[in-house]
Amino acid sequence: MKTVLITGGAGGIGAALCTGFAREGCAVAVHYHTKKEKAEQLAACLAETYGVKTAAVQADVSRSEDVKRLFDEADSALGSLDILVNNAGTAQQKLFTDITDADWDAMVGTNLSGVFYCCREALRRHMLPNHSGVILNISSMWGQVGASCEVHYSAVKAGVIGLTKALAKEVGLSGVRVNAIAPGVVMTEMMASFDSETLAALREETPLNALGTPGEIADAAVFLCSDRAKFITGQILGVNGGFII
């Protein structure tokens, strides 16, 4: 049985990721920052439904010391880590000139520094010593092409793509694969502020004339982390309905 740690596991895509890996028989560490009740309920549900070991673990991934504690607790509950999915993230829409220092620091901290801290901890503790492992980072299509009024978000998601490609080159000889998914428009809580007209326009801009679901991101993630994808590393998989081609 493989063990996976999924950051941001209590969110929309995160919960689907946790469910997808549990369905495959993986032990799942459900990370959360503030959504304690949701994470604990999800962990309990997955254990009961799929008969796998689970744990809900709290941390602010933008803080290096928190990430070390996160891994301490996950290791204690589930043992050696085989798969890391860096899914925790935050989004914000603002004019570039209105972005404050605090906005920038928060965006970089969670969406980029958090990925760095978690990758470093997973590699040092488990993957390099074991000469095996898989890291999957969740980026965004806006990290590939950029989005107006989301410059700071686009910048850090582009950083995740660069980190993914560079790290894959560095750790490949150590038996570790590193890939990323760049989702398109996916119907999660982050889309709650969009009105029906905006959502309809986004759907029309998508060649498949559909908006994504968390389950579709999870299906792609499970594949990329499985042995069926053992010759795939350093790749950025766009799961976006053709929105970005």
Residues 6 and 150: their CA atoms lie apart, in Å, by 25
For residues 25 and 16, what is the distance between their CA atoms, to the nearest angstrom?
14
Residues annotated catalytic, as ranges:
153
Contact by Cβ (8 Å): 32, 12? no
CA 209 to chain centre: 25
User: Could you tell me which of 119, 225, 131 has the C-alpha nearest to residue 167?
Assistant: 119
Alpha-carbon distance 242 to 13, whole Å?
19
Q: Give φ, ψ of 181 to 5 degrees.
A: -110, 135
Return all residues near 100 (Cβ < 8 A) that are at least 6 apart: none
User: Which residues, 6+ apart, have CB-to-CB distance to 34 below 8 Å?
Assistant: none
